[in-house]
Amino acid sequence: MNGPPHLWLIPLLPLAGFLLNGILGARLPRWLVTTIGLLAPLGALAVVLNATAVAASHPGITVCKGCTYPQGSFYLPNVETCPHAWIALPGLHVDFTFVLDQLSLVMLLVVTGVGFLIHVYSVGYMRDDPGYARYFSYLNLFLFFMTTLVLAGNVLVMFVGWEGVGLASYLLIGFWFQKPSAAAAGKKAFIVNRIGDFGFLIGIFLLLANFGTLTFSEIANKLAASPIWSSGVLTAICLCLLAGAAGKSAQLPLYVWLPDAMEGPTPVSALIHAATMVTAGVYMIARTHFLFDRAPIALGTVAIVGAATAIFAATIALAQNDIKRVLAYSTISQLGYMFLACGVAAYSAAIFHLVTHAFFKALLFLAAGSVIHAMGGEQDMRKMGGLRKKLPVTFWTMTVAVFTIAGFWPLAAFYSKDAILYAAFVHGVGGKFLWFVGLVTAMLTALYMFRLWYMTFFGELRTADAHPHESPWSMRAPLIVLALLSICGGWIGIERFSSYLAPAVGLHPAVSSFPHLELILGIVAVLVALEGFLIADKYYRRKTERPAQLAAAMPAEYKLLANKYYVDEFYDARLVKPLFWFSQFVLGWVVDFAILGGIAWLLAGIANLSGAILQRWQSGNLRSYAAWLALGAAALLLFVLLGHHFAEPPRIMVNLVRGH
Amino acid sequence: MSFMQHDVPLTWYLLLSAVLFSLGVVGFLIKRNLITVFMSIELMLNAVNLSFVAFAYQWHAVKGQIFVFFVMMVAAAEAAVGLAIIIAVFRTRATLAVDRIDLMKL
C-alpha cells in the first residue's frame, strides 16, 4: 500500500474512456459503451480511494521543503512530474506536474465520487438517446480535464484543465445541438468563460513576470521569503485570477451563462454546472490562497462579489418557474457563499461547503432530472404538482436535499453554511454585514427551495395528459447514495475538516471573544431557514392563491425578478449589440471589406489591367509571333554586341570571346 | 599546316552561315505556307550548325561538333512532332496558311 499512488492514472483512465467511446462508440454495442463509460470514472475513483487510504495511514506527516524521504513511501503533498519537461526555455521551465495534497485529495474524492454516481445515473437518464456513446465520451472527457485541473501542480497545467472543462461544458450544454437554444447556450457559456479566462491568462503572465515560475509551491515559497512584496502587484494578480474564477464559477457579473447552461442534459447540469466544474473557481482561489492572503483588497473584492452574487441569485430564484433554472440560480447563490468564505480567508469553510454543496446540489439536480424524466421532459413547475405519491424515492431524496440546502440541523449544509456565516461574522465590521447578507440569503434559499418542493410534489397534478412513473434503479440508486451523503456529509465538522486541510490552505482560526457565539449563530441560521420554510408553506401549500395576488400587487418588482433583473437584456443592449456592431461594421466592413478587401482588389486590378494590355500580343497569328521572336533575338544580339559599352559584358560572352 | 593556307577562311563560312540564317528568318517571317515556315526553321538550325562546325574546326574543339549532334537530334525530333502537328492541322482545317491558323488568340 505504500507504493506510488499513480496519480497519472486518475486523468488518463477517463481519457481512455473518452477515446474508446468517442472513436468506436457508435459501432460498439450499448452495454459495452456503458461498461467503458462507467469503468473509467470507477477506476479513477479507485485510484483516488487508494491514495486516500495510503495518505490516511500516514497521519499528520507533511513534507517540508528540501526534505528527502525514503523512496517508495508516501506523504502529502505527493508530487508526480512527467520526466520530460513540458516547456523548457531560458527563463521559463514548466513541467507537467501533478500534486496530491489534502486540498486536491478532497476535491478529487468529490469529482470522481459524485462523478461516478452521475455516470451511473446517466445510464438510466440517457437510455433512449441516440447520442448515447457521444454523451459518455464527453462525460469522460470532462472528468479527464477536471482531474487534471484539480491535480495541477502549476498554474499552466491548471489552465489546461481549466480550458478543457470549459470545452467539455460547451460540448455537453450543446449536446442536443439540434435545438437552437441549446447550441446558443453552449456558445454563450463558452464566450462568457473566455472573458473570465482572459483575466486568468493575464494573471498567469503577471505571475510569470513577477515570480519567474508558475509552480504553486515555488510561488508560495518566494512569497514567504520576502514579506515586503509589493501588494499592488499581488492585488492586480489576484483580481485577474478572480476574473477567471468569477467566469468559471458563475459569479457577478459573469454568471449569465449558467442559467442558460440548463439546456444540457440534467445529469450534466448536476455534474458540471452544480457539483464540480463551477466550483473550480473556488478551488483555484483556495489553491492560490497564499497570493490572496497578501492582497487584502482583492480578498475583500472576493467577499463582496460572493455576497452580492449570493443574494442577487437567490432573489432571482424566487420568481423562476423552470425547475432547473431555480436550481441554477441556487447554484450561483451557493457559489456566492463559497466566494464569500474565500473572501474572509476561511478557505477550509469554502471547501467544506463546496463538498457538501456537491452532494446536495447534485442530488437536487438528479432528483429534478428524475422528475423531468417522469413528466416526459416537462420542466415547468406550474405544470407539476402532487408527484409525492407517484415518485416516492425521488420525493424523499429531494426532501432530504431541500432540507439540507435550507440548512437544517443535522444535515450537511447546516455545518458548512454555518462555518461560512461564523467566519464572516468574526471577520471585523465588514464581516458583520457580509454575515447579514448571508443570513438573508439563507432565508431566501429556504424560501425558494421549499417553493420548488411544494410546487412539484404537493397539491394536485396540474397537467392532464402526464403519466408520471418512477425512474429506473440506475437513476434511483445514485439518488439514495447522494441523499445519505447529504445527510452525513457535514458530520465531520468544520474543526476537523479545517485542521485536515490546514497544510494545504493554511489555518485561519476564527476566534471569538464570546464563547457560545457559534452556537447562537447556528440557532439564528436555523430559525431563519425555518422562517423561509414557513413562508413557503403558507404561500405555496395553504394559500396557493397568495403568490399570484402578491405578484399582482407588486407588478414592477415581480417582473423585475421574473425577468432576472433584465441583466441579459442589459448585456445584450450594452455589450453584445455594440460589440456585434463593432465587429460587423468596423471590423467586418471597414477593416475586412474596405481595407483588406481593397488591397486585394487593387492587386487583382493591376493584374487584370496588365493582362488586358498584354493579351493583345496573343494575336494567334504565327507570323506576328515569329516577328516578335526575331525582334527579340535581334535585340538580344544588339545587347550582347553593345553591352560592354554600358556594363560588364555577360559572362557567357567573355567565355566565348576568350575561346579556350 | 595552317588552316588559312590551304582552306577556305573562317569568315566565309560565317558569312555563308549568316546568309543562310537570314534567309531562314526572312522565309520564316514572310511565307504563308506552314511547311515552308517549317523548312525555314530547319534552314536556321542548319545555318547555326554550319557556324558551330566552322568554329570547331578552327579552334580544334570537339565541343562544337557535339553541339551539332545535339542540334540535329533536336531538329529530327522537332521535324517528327512538327510534321505530325501539321498533318493534324491540315486534316481538320484543310489549309496550311498560317494566317488562318489563329485559333489560339484570346
Length of chain B: 106
Mean pLDDT value of segment A233-242: 92
Buried b (16+ CB within 10 A) or exposed e, A438-455: bbbbbbbbbbbbbbbbbb
Residue range A278-322, pLDDT digits in tens: 999 999 999 998 888 888 889 899 999 999 999 999 999 888 888
* CB-based contact, B94 to chain A, within 8 Å: no
Give the pLDDT confidence of A625-660 residue by residue, as tens digits: 878 888 998 899 898 888 766 655 555 555 555 554
- Alpha-carbon distance A30 to A34, whole Å? 6
Are residues A270 and A348 in contact, defined by beta-carbon separation less than 8 angstroms? no
Instruction: Give the integer Cα–Cα distance in Å for A374 and A390.
Output: 9
Q: Using 50, 70 and 90 to split pLDDT, how confident is the model at A490?
A: confident
The ipTM assigned to this model is 0.73
Segment A19-39, tens digit of pLDDT: 999 898 888 888 898 999 999
The pLDDT tens digits for A421-449 are: 888 888 877 888 899 999 999 999 999 99
| Cβ–Cβ under 8 Å, residues A139 and A122 | yes
Mean pLDDT score across all residues of chain A: 85
Q: A58 pLDDT exceeds 70? A: no
What's the mean pLDDT when you consider all of chain B? 87
Nearest to A237 by CA among A284, A193, A291, A290: A291
pLDDT-wise least confident of A56-60, A128-132, A584-588: A56-60
**pLDDT tier at A169, thresholds 50, 70, 90:** very high
**pLDDT tens across A98-124, in order?**
888 889 999 999 999 999 999 999 998
Residues of B in contact with A627 (CB under 8 A): 29
Q: How far is A622 from chain B (nearest CA, A)?
A: 6
- Residue A468 clears pLDDT 80, i.e. is over it: no
Q: Quickly count helices (H) and strands (E) in chain A.
A: 28, 4
Q: Percentage of chain A surpassing pLDDT 70?
A: 92
Question: What is the pLDDT, as a whole number, of residue B43?
Answer: 93
Q: For chain A, say whether B37 makes contact (Cβ under 8 Å).
A: yes
The answer to whether A623 contacts B29, with C-beta atoms less than 8 Å apart, is yes
Chain A residue closest to B21 (CA)? A630
Q: Identify the H or E element spanning A89.
A: strand A87-89
pLDDT, position B81: 95
Chain B contacts of A621, Cβ < 8 Å? 98-99, 102, 105
Q: Which residues contact A446 (CB under 8 A, 6 or more apart)?
A: A406, A407, A528, A529, A530, A531, A532, A533, A536
In this structure, the number of other CB atoms found within 10 A of the CB of residue A258 comes to 28
**Higher-confidence position of A195 and A617:** A195
Residue A191 has pLDDT above 60, yes or no: yes
- Total residue count of chain A as it appears in this document: 660
* A329 touches A405 (CB < 8 A): no
As a whole number of angstroms, the distance between CA A451 and CA A438 comes to: 20
Of the candidates B98, B103, B104, the beta carbon closest to that of A623 is on B98
**In chain A, % of residues over pLDDT 90:** 34
Please name the helix (run of DSSP H) or strand (run of DSSP E) that holds residue A40, with its range, or none.
helix A30-56
> Which residues in chain A have their CB less than 8 angstroms from residue B102's CB?
619-622
Rounded-to-integer distance, Cα A391 and Cα A372, Å: 11
Which range, of A88-92, A482-486, A506-510, averages the lowest pLDDT?
A506-510
Cell of A167: 470545452
Hey, is the C-beta of B99 within 8 angstroms of any chain A C-beta?
yes
Whether A622 has its CB under 8 Å from any CB of chain B: the answer is: yes
Question: Any idea what DSSP says for residue B97?
Answer: B
More confident residue, A521 or A180: A180
Question: In this complex, how many residue pairs, one in chain A and one in chain B, have their CB atoms less than 8 Å apart?
Answer: 34
Return the closest-CA partner of residue A255 out of A324, A300, A308.
A308
Confidence at residue A385, expressed as pLDDT on a 0 to 100 scale: 78
